[in-house]
Structure 1
Amino acid sequence: MQLYFLCTGNSCRSQMAEGFAKQIMPADWKIASAGIETHGLNARTVAVMAEKQIDISRNESKLIDHNYLMSSDYVITLCGDARDRCPVTPPSIKRLHWPLLDPAQATGTDEEIMLVFRDVRDEIENRVRQLKVELTQ
């Protein structure tokens, strides 16, 4: 099984999804993430994932790899921008869309912003766990 998580900048949501999927899904699955653009890895994303004992500090923000995309079993978009701008895929590739708030757009105090990152992280973890149930039945 090959999963591809896509977002606008591959800096927050798709990085979280990749991190959780690599931990939760079977070890022989191929899992990657990418963006329509590259915005660099968000430091707050690294911090909130570390709170879950998942180290993504060496990850890089990557552009969509056409070959990986076309060989994926599932393509999961985590924002409307990625859903709308993702290249067309053949019908054999299953597409899922998880409309998630962009934590990088959060405003307020540092703690308020971190709460948004944690909320999005926890929602992604729940969705990845549910996806595992659905795909491994």
Structure 2
Amino acid sequence: MPAKSRVLFVCIANAARSQLAEALLRHTDSEHFEAYSAGSAPTQVDPRTIAALAHLGIDTTGLRSKSIDEFKLGEFDYVITLCDKSAYECEPLPISGERLAWDFEDPVTSEKHDAFRHTLHEIHERIKMFVLVKNKR
């Protein structure tokens, strides 16, 4: 069996979007992908992130806010930034792999009703497409 593709999701605080993406990719296709997340200025996982994932029955075990510094020498097949600011900040990092820039509104600062569930759904749709495309290679 070929090795799993390693994917690193990056946003600023590693509190919501990248945590959602990490858990969603593990949930969607842990057979082919290893998912990780980090932030350029990590804080802590927002409790609403955990609640949104739990609402869909997605495992949140082991989710914690991590600094991109933990992964600076890491070998990744894909590094996916989840906001324009993190895409800019991660540009000079010595992390290998194909870089993808996705831009999602931060549910922590959003004033939309049910922002976390909305962001969870948007990221999940993008991850399902990512898995579909990357598994065809």
What is the TM-score normalised by the length of structure 1? 0.87
Q: Output the CA distance in 1 between the equivalents of 2:39 and 2:95.
A: 21
Q: Match of 2:98, as an amino acid?
A: K
Partner of 2:54: 50
- Quote the offset at 1:26 in angstroms: 3.9
* Unmatched segments (≥5 aa) in structure 2: none
Partner of 2:73: 67
4+ residue runs of structure 1 moved beyond 3 angstroms? 89-92
Greater CA drift, 80-89 or 40-49:
80-89
Count of aligned positions: 130
- Quote the offset at 1:37 in angstroms: 1.1
* Unmatched segments (≥5 aa) in structure 1: none
Deviations 1:41-87 (A, max 9, x none): 0000000011111132541100011122xx10110000111101015
Aligned residues with identical type, % of pairs: 31
Could you tell me which of 31, 35, 45 is aligned with 2:39?
A: 35
- Quote the offset at 1:88 in angstroms: 2.6
The residue correspondences of 1:1-137 to structure 2 (distance < 5 A) are 1-56=5-60, 58-64=62-68, 65-68=71-74, 71-88=75-92, 93-107=97-111, 112=113, 115-137=114-136
RMSD: 1.9
Query: Of Structure 1 and Structure 2, which has the larger fraction of its residues in helix?
Result: 1
